Amino acid sequence: DFLFFWGAVFLITTTLVALLKKENKELTPTKEETKGITDTYRLLFSIIKMPAVLTFCLLILTAKVGFSAADAVTGLKLVEEGVPKEHLALLAVPMVPLQIILPLIISKYTAGPQPLNTFYKAMPFRLLLGLEFAFLVWWTPKVKHEGGFPVYYYVVVLLSYALHQITLYSMYVAIMAFNAKVSDPLIGGTYMTLLNTVSNLGGNWPSTVALWLVDPLTVKVCAGASEQTCGTTAAAEV
């Protein structure tokens, strides 16, 4: 119902914008960025072939491998260990003000000539938080009792998520600031779209691989059946 409602709002508002909003032709630039789809892709290929851009794309595609498992799997493992999904969802509510405020604060440090410095400084802390998340998953079953989990456990989880959001947004805002800074103003839209797409892909593919590797890397032991192997999903079900 939630998704349906906002999907309907999205469709209605964008349709109204398309029908009612007119371009201000007086402010149309004399030289257009591109003339069509073919020209756009030619432009993209010419951009990505530049040595500096190619090196940057390779770096940004692999920069998030180190914390992909922590980002993608921690929440699922906490649920697996018995933390109710609705409690984890409620913990996301206090994160909303933080997510609004953080970009405003971080943008002050990324507005200078070297916005990627913030990205570099945040990376080791985010990697360390991956270890902290692993400890959190290990600690979860040890504090569980019949009534659920104590309040201090949720406080620790909330603080962990808050610290994670700080490092995540520091890296996100820094990379966006860098992309905006290096993009050629004449082809700014095309240039920034390319770099932001690569940045998004660099965050998504490691998470997908991490999720795919969870099952094969999980060690399963069959309780009460020493001769039975549980290495595969089918064997575990048996």
H/E element holding 65? none
Rounded-to-integer distance, Cα 231 and Cα 228, Å: 9
| pLDDT attached to residue 41 | 82
The answer to whether the beta carbons of residues 73 and 214 sit under 8 Å apart is yes
DSSP per-residue letters across 8-35: HHHHHHHHHHHHH----GGG--SS-S-S
Residue 222 burial (CB count, 10 A): 13
| pLDDT attached to residue 235 | 77
Overall residue count recorded for the chain in this entry: 238
Rounded-to-integer distance, Cα 130 and Cα 107, Å: 25
Q: Tell me the two tokens of residue 23.
A: 């371009």
Which of 104, 105, 114, 126 has the alpha carbon at shortest distance from 171?
126
Residues contacting residue 108 through CB under 8 Å, at least 6 positions apart: none
Rounded-to-integer distance, Cα 182 and Cα 19, Å: 34
Q: Please count the CA atoms within 13 angstroms of the CA of 35 that sit on its side-chain side.
A: 2
Q: Tell me the two tokens of residue 176.
A: 């966006």
The residues of the chain scoring below 50 in pLDDT are none
DSSP per-residue letters across 69-90: HHHHHHHHHHHHTT--HHHHHH
Q: Tell me the two tokens of residue 134.
A: 């692993």
| pLDDT attached to residue 153 | 92
91-109 pLDDT, tens digit each: 888 998 998 999 899 988 8
CA 149 to chain centre: 28
| pLDDT attached to residue 31 | 56
- First CA to last CA distance, the chain: 38
Whole-model pTM? 0.77
